[in-house]
Structure 1
Amino acid sequence: MDDPEYLSLIFVFILLVLSAYFSGSETAFFSINKFQFNRMKEGRKKDSAVFKVLERPRRLLVTIVLGNLFVNILSTVAVTSALVKRFGPVKGNTLASGLMMFLLLLFGEISPKIIAINTVESFTRLSAPIMKFFIFLFTPISTILLFIVNTILKIFGLTEYSTSKNISVEDLKSIIDMGSEEGIIHIDETKMLQSVFRFSDTDVQEIMTPRIDMVCLDINMSIEGLKHIILENRYSRMPVYDENIDNIIGILCVKDIASILNNLQDKQELINKLRKPYFVPENKEAYPMLKFMQKHHTHIAIVVDEYGGVEGLLTMEDIIEELVGEIHDESDEVELPYEFIDQNTIKAEAKMNITEVNDVLDLEIEENPHFNTIAGFIMHRLGKIPEVGEFVDTSDLNVKVLSMDGNRIEKVLIHRKENA
């Protein structure tokens, strides 16, 4: 191989490196989100060059496109010329087309973009000083092109483009995790922020009081029976139904009858105090439900299934607790739905939420639209109503049924395996 061929190889290699540089720079610069952009804007010395480049995103984009176009054309011409000299026009052109397609795809596009997307900030810091040179170099051409582009954009009424992307949920989660690891964000604050993210994907079915645990009043009961349930349970609001819990006729706000409760003789007085019940579908998301309750000035709603049957009851407190954790007043006895037997085993109520089980035992029980409690998990796995002593065994955990109340699972023993 003579000297001109060596020089051609070196020339093509340099052009491929530049192609990789422009492709990687495009991915890295235009992957910067608003959080990163604003942080660079604050003036840290190592980020000042990046910020300067990003100040004019259209000029940056035109520079990258021009640079990539020129180096790709030059490299293709150089390789084609060399191969045509060696193999003739037909074979040389064919070989050049195949070879350059492979080289440009692998080394000029795919590889640099994968590297750039995984090292956005470091890539842009290294790239920015060189990019400033190319921006200056292509200024005459880019100015003309930008004038034409901006004119077209004005015709279509498009506003100035911003290079910085909105911060994604995953970006925010990463920021919170980093802040927690570095001690900037307290553990309690971290848990609350994580609850906010979970809240956005939470349906009312996941946080409601299930039908079987609802305390309701049957309007057909005796006055003494009604008084007993009201005084024994001490809830501030209670659903009232007529014969069947699926036929809820109103919500009793206990404070509305507090002054007459002891001397209550006529049920009509209680009926007159009932407030309008609000019914919501079980798949309604928690955040819109919170807005709904605020709009209608209600603290309680009845959750129904697709057939209109009552599934459960949702209170404002249920929604708030999903965000900030359990709320207790001075008279509440705080009872956890589980107790530790050892560091890997808990005895728990079967109605314990899957998310809480995962948090307590550091597990990753699969999420499923068909259940959100450990009882639902057991029945889904077994495909039937279990008996006492039956268990579910997976690679991560073992769940054993300890007690039943009719067809309802009451208590379970959950053991996390050592390899989990």
Structure 2
Amino acid sequence: MFAEFADSINTLLANPPRLLQLDMILRILLQLFLFSASAFFSGSETALFSLTRFDLQKLSRSKHAAADTLQKLLDQPRRLIVSILCGNELVNIAAAANMTAILVELAGVETGALLATALMIPLILLFGEVTPKTLAVSNPAWVSTRIVARPLNSWIRLIRPLANVVRLVADKVTTLLIGPERTRENILYIEELRSLIEEGVQSGEITPTERTLVHSLLSAGATEVREIMTPRPQVQFLDGEMEPSDLRAAFIKLRHTRVPVFVGGSDNIVGFLCVEDFLEEPAQKSDSVNKEGGYLLAGLPLLHPPIAVPPTKEVDEMLDFFEEHSASAALVVNEFGSVDGIVTLDDVTKFLFNGVYSEPVINVEEIREVAGGYEIEASTPLSEIRDVTGMDIPEKLMTTIAGTALRNFGVVPKVGDRIEIEGFSLEILEMDNLRISRVRLLRRPSESVESEGEGKIGHE
């Protein structure tokens, strides 16, 4: 019995199974290495491009050894992606070829080729794509610093000649499609920045007040001056051809810090009369003259020269604009040269700092709560109505409730006219000639919304 077992062992050692032969063992070890390399490149791509600026800043502040390496890699995203893809494709092709060679050796040419195809697809997906990418996206900072940074940096140096050739061809194509390469510093989207701010708040590095200010600044870049200006019907003008004493008295009566002055027509604004420049001296009658860009009225201070902006100018540009022109107010002039309204430094700062305090300031004259809804000054911005009442009126074209009413009525309405607007009932309470001055806004019950339909107009 023992002799037979010994003979079997000797026979096995003399003619070992194909899988246990040295060349086959080396091929199997090579296959495991290629799968690991495929997982490395796939995970590297996901981990690096999942890093946020906040992650990089944390690594830099902690003086992590891999921080500079990661920053240099991400500074050239095209070079990085080409190098990773070159490595990934090379190891995947090599893995497929090696697996085919192993199976052909064991099962023959036809069967081995079929088995290689059937096995490599799920194996590459599982070990070369899904698993490493899932692990990388779950903790990109850890994977990037502990696993990716140094090996990938060495690989990029090694593969540079091949990567340069591939990149040269790819750059020609991508430049035609999306333009020249931009560095990572130049690519920062608003939503990405908002996410960074939220991460900063959660980590305690940014206060809620700072978050509110940043969100206001971001909104300012997407908000036009026409949305925060004082519209023309609400602007108080003074006639520069009035007697100086009457003009002075009218200015004092208005109790505004600055008032536009016109001559010959309200679109011919010659300047602003400002309270800080108002001299308490007796008025003397004489002719009006222009002097050094300012309009001089007898017995009154030199008017501040008018400056104008288009209604489409963005709010975030206005602070620099006012500083550049040493002004605190500007006319909003449309394409036809008519004055649409006035925007002031106060309007801009109010927009930027709105929401910093926990409780909004409610102007009871503009918005007054009544049974089932609100009575609202028609010039009130929709954003303010939403902030105060929580009623989100769907509107993309207009900025005030008056504009929304006009657009939905289609004609100039009369007092008492009502219209249903997507879940809301809007009634005209007051008119000032052709201008809507006050409305009542009620939220309709859901059942009446379904039965009445949208855009229904009525009159009491």
Q: TM-score, normalised by structure 1?
A: 0.72
Listed as ranges, the gaps of 5+ residues in structure 1 are 154-160, 328-332
Q: CA deviation at 1:238?
A: 1.7
CA shift in 2, pair 1:41/1:416, >3 Å: farther
Shift of 1:179: 5.2
8 Å Cα contact 1:60-1:135 kept in structure 2: no
Q: Which of 401, 418, 421 is the aligned partner of 1:390?
A: 418
Match of 2:51 in 1: 32
Letter in 1 for 2:190: V
What secondary structure does 1:372 align onto? coil
Pair 245,35 (structure 1): closer, same or farther in 2 beyond 3 Å: same
Q: Could you say if the C-alpha distance between residues 179 and 410 of structure 1 is closer, same or farther in structure 2, counting changes exceeding 3 Å?
A: farther
Choose between structure 1 and 2 for higher RCO, CA contacts under 8 A separated by at least 6 residues. 1
Partner of 2:450: none
- CA, structure 1 residues 312+23, in 2 after alignment: closer, same or farther (shift >3 Å)? same
* Structure 2, gaps ≥5 residues long: 1-16, 20-24, 168-181, 290-295, 357-361, 447-460
2:351 maps to 322
Any conservation in 2 of the 1:338–1:349 contact (CA below 8 Å)?
yes
**Paired letter, 2:58:** R
Tell me how far apart the structure 2 counterparts of residues 42 and 394 of structure 1 sit (CA, whole Å).
Answer: 51
TM-superposed deviation, 1:283: 1.1
Identical aligned residues as a percent? 29
Matched, 1:129 2:146: yes
Q: 1:297 aligns with which of 307, 320, 326?
A: 326
Q: Is the 8 A contact 1:391 1:400 kept in 2?
A: yes
Measure how far apart 1:304 and its partner are.
Answer: 0.6
Equivalent residue number for residue 218 of structure 1: 239
Match in the other structure for 2:378? 350
Cα distance in 1 for partners of 2:217, 2:412 equals 34
Distance 1:103 1:242, change over 3 A: farther
Deviations 1:147-177 (A, max 9, x none): 8989xx9xxxxxxx98788654323322434
Aligned CA distance change for structure 1 residues 233 and 355 (closer, same or farther; 3 Å) = same
- Which of 212, 216, 222 in structure 2 is aligned with 1:201? 222
- Given that 1:351 and 1:373 are in contact with CA atoms closer than 8 Å, whether structure 2 keeps it comes out as yes
Q: Secondary structure at the match of 1:36?
A: helix
Structure 1 pair 392/178, CA: closer, same or farther in 2 (3 Å)?
farther
Q: Secondary structure at 1:306's aligned position in 2?
A: coil
Matches within 5 A, 1:2-401: 19=38, 21-43=40-62, 51=67, 54=70, 57=73, 64-65=84-85, 67-78=87-98, 85-86=109-110, 96=117, 120=137, 122-126=139-143, 128-131=145-148, 134-135=151-152, 139=154, 143-146=157-160, 168-178=189-199, 187-223=208-244, 225-260=246-281, 263-266=283-286, 268=288, 271=297, 273-325=302-354, 337-341=366-370, 345-362=373-390, 364-366=392-394, 368=396, 370-387=397-414, 388-395=416-423, 397-401=424-428
**CA-atom RMSD, angstroms?**
4.8
The verdict on how the C-alpha distance between 1:142 and 1:373 changes in structure 2, with shifts beyond 3 A counting, is: closer
Provide the rounded CA distance (Å) in 2 between the counterparts of 1:107 and 1:204.
55
Aligned length: 387
Q: CA deviation at 1:320?
A: 1.9
Give the alignment's TM-score, normalised by structure 2.
0.66
SS in 1 for 2:313: coil
